[in-house]
Chains A and B, each alone.
Chain A
Amino acid sequence: EVVLTQSPATLSLSPGERVTLSCRTSQSVSSSSLAWYHQKPGQAPRLLIYNGASRAAGIPDKFSGSGSGTDFTLTISRLEPEDFAVYYCQQHHSSPYTFGQGTKLEIQ
């Protein structure tokens, strides 16, 4: 099973800032096999990025994904109040499809 480790666990930032979230996999995965979601309290997760760098329908271009091998990142170019949530990475390289433990983005 591929284990995903996200860092940091919590980030405190201000609206308008740029942020890069990290996701490391326990074994090499295809660069097109990584997805990112965010989840707000009491809500279901929302798909942001799939296949490593493709934005899901309706996701603005301030979100971008990149990486290869075992190191992947999600960048949000300019934080807005609605972006403060928990972010999860997920690998779809091999079954079982696994998620990271999440990075909580909170308002400073």
Chain B
Amino acid sequence: QLQLQESGPGLVKPSETLSLTCTVSGGSINSRYWSWIRQPPGKELEWIGSISYTGATNYNPSLKSRLTISVDTSKTHFSLMLTSVTAADTAVYYCATDSSPTRWFIWGQGTMVTVSS
């Protein structure tokens, strides 16, 4: 059974880079689409971006200038890098996947990231 697990620092300073990894277990990363979605405290979900196993990406335009999503098929994980973070980037970050790039059936448990000095 495919499972996802997010990992990364829980605290990032303003203007620095937020880096998260999603480890894939129980299945192959060499198929499907892999996505990041976030949820600020008490707010709705926001799609961040997606990547296919071939490396093709699709980013939310509101984050595109600061965002990099990559996939490492040999190590069965995919990653998110968000530069120049501010308090507005404080959120629970989820990784998720599906056979379609536009919906998400399998989710990680989420990881809380706080941007604060």
Do B45 and A45 touch across chains, with their CB atoms under 8 A apart? yes
Contact residues of B: prevailing secondary structure: loop
A7 to chain B, nearest CB (A): 14
Do B47 and A98 touch across chains, with their CB atoms under 8 A apart? yes
Q: Which residues of chain A from 43 to 95 have any CB-CB distance to chain B below 8 Å in the complex?
A: 43-47, 50, 56-57, 88, 90, 92, 95
Q: Which residues of chain B from 55 to 103 have any CB-CB distance to chain A below 8 Å in the complex?
A: 58, 60-62, 94, 96, 98, 100, 102-103
Contact check: which of A43, A44, A90 meets B103 at CB < 8 Å?
A90
Do B60 and A92 touch across chains, with their CB atoms under 8 A apart? no
Name, among B43, B58, B102, the residue most crowded by chain A CB atoms within 10 Å (CB to CB): B102
Complex contacts, A47 vs chain B, CB 8 Å: 98, 103-105
Residues of A at the B interface (CB closer than 8 Å) are 33, 35, 37, 43-47, 50, 56-57, 88, 90, 92, 95-102
Closest 3 pairs (CB-CB, A-B): A92-B102, A44-B107, A99-B45
